[in-house]
Chain A
Amino acid sequence: MEATMTLEDVTKVFGHGDVSVRAVDGVSLTVQAGEVVLVMGPSGSGKTTLLALAGCLLRPTTGRVWFREREVTTLGEGGQAALRRTQIGFIFQHFNLLSALTARENVELVLGLTGRDRSDARRTASGVLGELGLGKRLDFLPGVLSGGEQQRVAVARALASDPAVILADEPTANLDSRSGRQVAGLLADAAHRLGKAVVIVSHDHRLTTIADRIVWMEDGRIVPEPPLDGRIVSEPLLT
């Protein structure tokens, strides 16, 4: 299998001196095409920071990030933005749809950013949303969609431009269990059927069933096993 996303001894320090926080501390991680990597760990252990580093939303203090054979840490702001819009699809806990745009327009917009012409973007957006069961919600604004529907629109937006990597931060945390299962299924499908490298950060235990690999984090480091106090495992599945 091909290594799609590689983090090489990556450290992220926020702040300076006494108030500095070592949010990610010397992490190395490789994600292959077609696999789901689930990152788990207690609150504040650096999971979101790790995801942002992988997604070129943050620059590491030290260490390097690679997309396929290309080092992305050396890219300028414009180069990183281009990589995000073409190769990385994001899914967030708070959906983050553009509130002024309908479901279809949200998806069309990211296609437009990559230079797709309008009618093509429109067709693709309708197609992807239709596959995710949102064919009847195309012209709805996010404000009138349920949480589960909004997150499926977000998944559609992440998948629409056919990126190699999907990065999801707590994608099921704000969803009821049925919607959570649905989104989990979509993410598994993205990896196993569409061959994307999928990284999911979550506390949600249900997601372990779709994970090919689970990475445990504690205090910014990857640890070989779940933290001994068992916080993760005993946490309620839904919040």
Chain B
Amino acid sequence: MVRLAMKMLLRDRIRFGVTTLGVAAAVVLILALNGLFSGAARQITSYIDQSGADLFIAQQGVYNMHMATSVLPGDLAPRIETAPGVDQAVPMAFFATNIEVEGTRHLVYLIALPPEAPFGGAWKVSAGKGLAAPGEVILARDLADKHDLALGSRILVQGRSLRVTGLAEELSSMASSFAFISLGDAQAIRGSGPTAAYYLVRIAAGADPSGVAESIRLKIPEVNPMTTAELSMSDREIGLQMGVDVLRAMAVAGFLVGLAVVGLSVYTTVVEQLRQFGILKAVGAGRGHLLHCFLLQSQVMALAGFAVGVVLTWILRLAVPYLVLGMELDLEPAYLLLTLGEVLVIGALAAVPPWLRVSRLDPMVVFRS
């Protein structure tokens, strides 16, 4: 039965190829979209993950860096440093703004640190410095390249002219990028006086991050200390949430497209060879045998489509950073499995219509010419 099913399926190789591509397209749609959101979510947390801080301290009730506003006094560092297990605390301001380059606006998340901060600056500097002094800005290198900015160029940040003194990698994402300025400039731009948004904390060697966070919370009740992992997780969720509905809609759309493509293909394959199935029924093939045959056909089509789709997504993943500035595409194993599950369900469902059709078929066709 396996051989018969495969030979019937491959009788029309063009149809098999087109079906495979159809399913592959649906798979690429599902995987790539998820991959892009996941890539974007990873980029959102890249600063948190690379800052070198063990803890982040926010205002009480604030659990995120994105989509949240945290305001803390600018002089908390000494108090934080008295908490057991704390090595160093660095104030940091963080806000989104537009910078103007050659008349076009770019969304930038500004990270403002004291010029002497021992950590927290750009982590992959390709030119100049990783930390800004007053009047300076560190930009994403690909953003600078795109606009022919180099060390020494000047850009406008909310009306304030800053000189580019550093360029760094891994700062841009699909729709925005990170840039570094000095804490003093940030306070002046915002008119916020001596405040900070967060404190970055390094803990003593061997100390336990959650334990130190707890000791800070006890000492300074009006703050919310979080481990870097906690904050990262919480920001990543925000990034993903923005895409969840779109992803769900696309997963459903991809599912329906895949089902239609495989279902129609298997059905027409079967209907074109109806007499062959009449013969099978006459010589004693039961409903189970027939279902087995159709399941084999539709699963092979669906899985071939899945395999091709995964390969295409993989190629796309390698190409995407070159196609769109700052865009990245992740292939998550868990989502791959989920999509595989979806494809297997497609394969199972697509076998049903031909099965019902052939179940109704009168085996008496074998007596006619």
Chain A residues in contact with chain B, CB under 8 A? 48, 52, 55, 57-58, 77-78, 81-86, 88, 90, 92-94, 96-101, 105, 109-110, 112-114, 157, 169
Selected from A86, A98, A105, the residue in CB contact (under 8 A) with B279 is A98
10 contacts between A and B (CB under 8 A): A57-B282, A81-B285, A81-B287, A85-B284, A96-B279, A101-B3, A101-B7, A109-B1, A113-B285, A157-B283
- Kindly name the residue among A86, A96, A97 whose own CB sees the greatest number of chain B CB atoms within 10 A: A96
Give the docked Cα–Cα distance between A97 and B273 (Å): 12
With beta carbons under 8 angstroms apart, the residue of A84, A93, A105 that contacts B282 is: A84
B4 → A minimal CB distance (Å): 6
A58 to B281, CA, bound (A): 12
Q: Inside 8 A of B7's CB, which chain A residues have their CB?
A: 100-101
- Which stretch of B131-139, B337-345, B359-367 is in the interface? B359-367
Pair A113/B11 contact, Cβ less than 8 Å: no
- Chain B's interface size range is 20 to 34
A-B contact count (CB 8 A): 74
Kindly provide the distance from the CB of B299 to the nearest chain A CB, expressed in whole angstroms. 19
Q: Report the bound CA distance from A52 to B367 in whole Å.
A: 9
Ranked nearest first, the 6 interchain pairs of A and B with the lowest CB-CB distance are: A85-B284, A84-B284, A100-B7, A81-B286, A96-B279, A48-B367
Residues in B neighbouring A83, C-beta threshold 8 A:
284
Query: Do A78 and B286 touch across chains, with their CB atoms under 8 A apart?
Result: yes
In the bound complex, how far is the Cα of B284 from the Cα of A83, in angstroms? 7
Complex contacts, A157 vs chain B, CB 8 Å: 283
In chain B, positions 1-49 with a C-beta closer than 8 Å to chain A are: 1, 3-4, 7-8, 11
B369 is an interface residue with CB less than 8 A from chain A: yes
A interface footprint on B159-185 (CB within 8 Å = 1, 0 otherwise): 000000000000000000000000000
Given contacts A77-B287, A78-B287, A100-B7, contact A90 B282 (CB under 8 A): yes
Q: Are A90 and B366 in contact (CB under 8 A)?
A: yes
B289 touches A113 (CB 8 A): yes
B367 touches A92 (CB 8 A): yes
Q: Once the chains bind, are A57 and B363 in contact (CB under 8 Å)?
A: yes
Residue of B nearest to A88 (CB): B284
* B283 & A100 in contact (Cβ 8 Å cutoff): no
A53, chain B: closest CB distance, angstroms? 11
Query: Which residue of the partner chain, among A82, A100, A169, contacts B8 with CB atoms under 8 Å?
Result: A100
Q: Does B280 contact A (CB under 8 A)?
A: yes
User: What residues of chain B lie closer than 8 Å to A114, measured between beta carbons?
Assistant: 284
Whether A57 touches B364, Cβ cut-off 8 Å, given contacts A101-B7, A112-B1, is: yes
Bound together, the chains give a CA A109 to CA B8 distance in angstroms of 14
Whether A100 contacts B367 by the Cβ 8 Å rule is no
CB distance A92 to B366 under 8 Å? yes
- Measured CB to CB, the closest approach of chain A to B283, in angstroms, equals 5
Given A52-B367, A101-B3; 9 other pairs, CB 8 A cutoff:
A52-B364, A55-B282, A57-B364, A77-B287, A84-B282, A96-B366, A97-B279, A109-B1, A113-B285
**Is A90 a contact partner of B283 (Cβ separation < 8 A)?**
yes
Q: How far is B11's CA from A99's CA once the two chains are assembled, in angstroms?
A: 10
Q: Are A100 and B286 in contact (CB under 8 A)?
A: no
| B284 CB contact (under 8 Å) in A52, A99, A110 | A110
**B276 beta carbon closer than 8 Å to chain A:** yes
Q: A residues within 8 A CB of B279?
A: 96-98
